[in-house]
Amino acid sequence: MFQTRLRSWVGDLRGGLLVAAAMAGTACGGSEPVSPPPPPPEPDPPEAASVTLTPASALLVSLGETAGFTAAVIDQYGDPYEGGEVAWTSSNIAVFTVEAGFVTAVANGQGSVTASIEDVNGTATVEVEQAPVGLTVTGGEGQEAEPETELDERIEVRIDDAGGAPVEGVEVQFSTEEGNGSANPSQTTTDASGLASSSWTLGDQTDSQTLTVTAGSSLTAEIMASVKQVDPPSDDSAAYIVRFDATWSDSTHPDNFPLSSGPHFSPMIGAVHNSEASFWAVEETASPGIESMAETGATGTLTAEINQQRPENALSVINGPGLSSPGLGVIEEVIVTKDYPLVTLVTMIAPSPDWFAGVAGFSLLDEEGEWLSEVSVELPPFDAGTDSGPNYTSPNDDTDPQEPITNLSGVAPFSENPVGKFTFIKK
């Protein structure tokens, strides 16, 4: 411009004196003076006037994820500024770091990224919020348990972001269909390691059961458990009906049979027990309970003796009806187990001094340890050795000292015939 004006002024000179005179004339006539214009001022050198970051914000959804920012620097003339490099800083390096415009997520949180040059700054916001995109079962798969029992190992899952980093604070649900038991808790949130767990108590469905884990909006996993077959109780225990066929009569034992005294057997009394317990035996002296039963038919003392053996050696007390003889008495159910397979059962022959019938420690298992399906035992008469009367209706005559229990088969007034028969029938 300056050069252009200079050339113009030289051109005017070439125009001749007329111009010069005219100029002088005009000077005398009060016109504006003609002088060279002042040189224009030196323009300021460009400097950074503003920094603008693109994009204005970034959301990072997994740890280690990066995003790039660009910084546009404009000078005071509105032109792109090329005078230097910007410096990048993070407002919170615990949340994200930045280098050369690239931010990298470190932890959930937010902050701002700043690009600086010559005391001019531009900022953009950065937010780190891990998105749960992975669900991994980390514990409790493939277990087996009986129905309606709690599994030994807890069901555990881990929630990860897209980079495989665990995500804390994610709600996780553990749910089951009917028959598949229940989870406790049914809902929880992941810990700092991204883990959530629940204990699973199986339901009554057989074969296998399923627990469903859900997290976030779409994460899900199904966990299976096998169900153990429960051994039916009948494998270890058995129920029997006991029949007592009383055959003591004036035809089987004609000698002095007490027909006019109401011949009968007293209420049956006994025990289910193991081999550690013994309530009576031939050649041994009778307990007070056996003496009381054999002499009077009372059951209280023997019941107390049986109860003293419970629960270690005796499982239960057996009570059965009394009955006229000949006749039939039935005990509807006696439960025995492999641990308590023996039956002791006695009844007084009445009237008599101290005579009785029954079994002692009779096993309902066969030689292979299996339950007998049906078994009969013939019952001879026994003398308890506690009263010395010689006949059915002899008056009381206490035997002192007490004598051992003896078998009275063929001993008067008994014949060689049994007085009855027990039959045990497995139900």
Interface contacts to Ca ion, rule CB under 5 A: 354, 383, 386-387, 398
Residue with tokens 């309970």: 289
Nearest to Ca ion of 173, 287 (CB atom):
287
Q: Shortest gap between Cβ of 287 and Ca ion (angstroms)?
A: 12
Please report how close the Cβ of residue 329 comes to Ca ion at its closest, in angstroms.
Answer: 24
Q: Which is nearer to Ca ion, 316 or 399 (CB)?
A: 399
101, 55 contact by CB (below 8 A): no
Residue 156's alpha-carbon distances to 166, 172, 187, 197, 249, in angstroms, are: 13, 10, 12, 4, 75
Task: Write the DSSP symbol of residue 233.
Answer: G
Contact of 120 with 75, CB cutoff 8 Å? no
Q: Which is nearer to Ca ion, 80 or 390 (CB)?
A: 390
C-alpha of 364 from chain center:
40
Q: Which is nearer to Ca ion, 136 or 285 (CB)?
A: 285
Which residue, 380, 375, 377, is CA-closest to 418?
380
Report CA-CA distances (Å) from 238 to 273, 344, 369, 374, 380.
14, 16, 12, 12, 27
- Tell me which H or E stretch contains 21: helix 17-28
Residue type (1 letter), 214: T
62 near 165, Cβ under 8 Å?
yes
- Cβ-in-10-Å burial (0-12, 13-18, 19+) of 352 comes to buried
| CA–CA dist 212, 231 (Å, integer) | 29
Whichever of 374 and 398 has its CB closer to Ca ion, that residue is 398
Q: At its nearest, how many Å lie between Ca ion and the CB of residue 361?
A: 22
Pairing verdict, β 120-128 and 57-60: parallel
Q: How far is the CB of 296 from Ca ion (least distance, A)?
A: 9
Nearest CB to Ca ion, comparing residues 254 and 404: 404
Nearest to Ca ion of 190, 386 (CB atom): 386
Residue 177, helix vs strand vs coil: coil
Q: Please report how close the Cβ of residue 360 comes to Ca ion at its closest, in angstroms.
A: 18
Least separation, in Å, of the C-beta of 283 and Ca ion? Answer: 14
272 in Cβ contact with 310 (< 8 Å)? no
Residue 20 — φ and ψ, nearest 5°?
-65, -45
Question: Which position's Cβ is nearest Ca ion?
Answer: 386
Q: What is the nearest approach in angstroms of Ca ion to the Cβ of residue 393?
A: 14
| DSSP structure string for 277-337 | --S--TTSBPPHHHHHHHHH---HHHHHHHHHTTTTTEEEEEE---EESSEEEEEEEEEEE
- Nearer of residues 180 and 386 to Ca ion, judged by Cβ: 386
Q: How far is the CB of 292 from Ca ion (least distance, A)?
A: 9
Q: Shortest approach of Ca ion to residue 265 CB, angstroms?
A: 17
Nearer to Ca ion, 212 or 406 (CB): 406
Identity of the residue, 315 or 408, whose beta carbon is nearer to Ca ion in the bound complex: 408
Nearer of residues 156 and 387 to Ca ion, judged by Cβ: 387
3-state secondary structure of 63: coil
> Could you tell me the smallest distance in angstroms from the CB atom of residue 286 to Ca ion?
9
- Least distance from Ca ion to the Cβ atom of residue 305, Å: 16
- For 13, the enclosing helix (H) or strand (E) is helix 2-13
